[in-house]
Amino acid sequence: MKIAFLIVDRDHIGGVVSAVHNLAGALAGRHEVEVVALRRARDRSPFPLDPRVRVVNLTDVRPESPTGDAEDPLAVQRPRVYPDDPAQKTPKVGRLAELRLLRYLAGTDADAVVSSNPRITVVLARADGGGYLRLAQEHSHPWGYAREVKRELYPAYRAMDAVTVLTPEVAERLQADTGGGHSMPAVPNCVPPAGGGGLRAAGAPFIVTGGVLKPHKGFDVLVEAFAKVSGEFPEWGLRIHGGGPEKARIRGVIEERGLYERAHLMGPTERLPWELAKGAVFALPSKREPFGNVLVEAMSLGLPVVSADCDHGPRNIITSGKEGLLVPPGDAEAMADALRVVLGDPRARSEMGEAARIGAERFDEAHSAERFEAVLEEASKRRSREVQGRVSVDGSGDVRIDLHGAPEGSEVVLHRRTGGAGGGRGAEAAVFPAEAGTAVVPRLGGPGEGEWRVALRRPDGAETAVGCSACDTSGYLGAPRLSREAPGLRSLLPYVGEDGAPAVRSRVRTVHAEVRSVRTAEGRITVVGELWGAEPGPGARVEAVRRGSGVCEAEAPARAAGGGGFRAELPARVFASRFRGEEAIWDLWLRPDEGADRTGLCRLDTDVLRTTPVFTHPDLTVPGPRRPGARLGPLGLLRPRRCTVRVYFSSADRLAVKVVAAP
């Protein structure tokens, strides 16, 4: 099998680069393996790589490279598919690297392509290519990524044959965050024995540790803990290896505690295993640690461990009392107590160190290769079991899912993609039997409010993805959405998600105000609609509520038009008069009668999935509030500011009004 690992670059010191190199080398004995880097910025990588692994650099941005790409204008253009980082003045991954990655993915002969970076995962999900398996490796806690990354990454997971995570806790949280249904096996990092396997701890009286000097690494907590035990163990010292922005602050803590002769910041090193091997105890004070490569490296040296029990790596690597001791993160007193146990008992140190050495073998090349090969095998099986579904709407408004290749006794499972109205999420899954290869999702008594992804549950309980061979929504236009059996709105609209999988939008509203038309002319906004599940009373009115404050700042009577219909007119000037120089938005609501609850003015009785770009209305330009000190007009009068009043449907399909300064 040919396996390609995608990585941003191989040049910087980081756990992801180390983990990719290690796993690629572990697999190279039985597979053809290549590491594909989007960019090359330095002459060599700080981490070793098995010579059997082929390296492909898609761009070379080294300034001194005579054949490099540093001068190519596309190298500094913003990417279009790869999620851009707006904080970077010049993109680290530009349009040139993106284009070459897409070209690589379209033409590679790899059997499996593995993304090691969340932004690359988005590109891999959207790329044209052959029938290779698509996998993503998550080396961190994805819920901590930037919002713009998560917005594109979570749907991209659907296009992956598997998403590997480092611990079961990450898999559980990520399944919940993304709506479930993914293959998310827990695959710890590959960490070969430090020093090639022949290196052992010398046992000198040092507590040793290493990492980037950043706040979440907690090295200040370790210094405080050492200060509490240093008087009891005068022969022991502390060595912290690494560099980073916290260096000065940690040095300040060392000096404040009078430990400058015994606690030392050793600086960064490319020979960390050999430096750790000089000590007798390894400490990991991190406040968060998705895995902890350096922890496993230290264990392979035979070093007992005192570690913070942070999320989620350490507790999945060591058992407290066996290979070392776990303490609450950020607790210097608890870490000091654990150090007292280990420093004061040579026999315990020896036994824990030997257990640590044996425990580290679980993460070596042989075990890691077997784990990853099992993921590839299961992903291939899942791919072969994927079922195709044809989704349509029948005359009753029910959604029919006709399945090809589903075994008898299967069920269709709808997993919630977005939460229900009013902030409540409701049930996270809805199950419907597939009889004779067809599942029916009923309009009445079907799933709750929200958007739902379609999956197949086989008779053995295993879930697999459903591909979408066709999605026919024409039946929606003639199907009922209003009925006597269930007052208000009940509608189901199938669609194809960004990942190519079928999905269903469900709208369930006991009282619903459907917008039929919006006219913007002659300085007025005229709204015509229907009220479902109630009748407009004499006190019915449309209210404009400023977004963010919840304050109603304008209203107009909603005059009944028969059959639940209503009509309201709002002067555009009322919105412009409240303009203060910054963008302002009001959501429009209908209050059916005096004392009744408000309901949003929405456009949902349509086969259009996203209303914002489709249902548009001409802008209105009207005078705004007068500005003190404004220029005088031709007649010596103050010239008022002009405002643009824009009526639109928001991402929640709710009618809204936006006011901005006129150009």
- Residue 618 · residue 525 · CB < 8 Å: no
**pLDDT beyond 70 at 473:** yes
| pLDDT for residue 483 | 60
Q: How confident is the model at residue 638 (pLDDT cuts 50, 70, 90)?
A: very low
State pLDDT tens for residues 126-162.
998 778 999 999 999 999 999 889 989 998 998 899 9
Distance CA 205, CA 360 (A): 22
* Ramachandran quadrant class, 531 (left: phi over 0; alpha: psi -120 to 50; beta: rest): beta
User: What pTM, to 2 d.p., does this model score?
Assistant: 0.69
- Residue 520 · residue 506 · CB < 8 Å: no
Residue found under tokens 């989704």: 391
Q: How many C-beta atoms lie closer than 10 Å to residue 469's C-beta?
A: 14
**pLDDT beyond 90 at 27:** yes
| pLDDT for residue 462 | 82
The DSSP bridge partners found for residue 7 are: 37
Q: How confident is the model at residue 478 (pLDDT cuts 50, 70, 90)?
A: confident
State pLDDT tens for residues 161-212.
999 999 999 999 998 888 776 789 999 999 999 877 789 999 999 999 999 9
**Cα distance from N-terminal residue to C-terminal residue, the chain:** 60
Burial category of 147 from C-beta neighbours within 10 Å (exposed 0-12, middle 13-18, buried 19 and up): exposed
The DSSP bridge partners found for residue 442 are: none
| pLDDT for residue 15 | 82
Distance CA 63, CA 70 (A): 6
| pLDDT for residue 647 | 97
State pLDDT tens for residues 510-560.
999 999 999 999 999 999 999 999 999 999 999 999 998 989 999 999 999
**CA separation (Å) from 145 to 138, 142, 148?**
11, 5, 8
Closest CA relative to residue 418, chosen from 454, 449, 444: 449
**pLDDT beyond 60 at 636:** no
State pLDDT tens for residues 333-366.
999 999 999 999 999 999 999 999 999 999 999 9
| pLDDT for residue 635 | 44
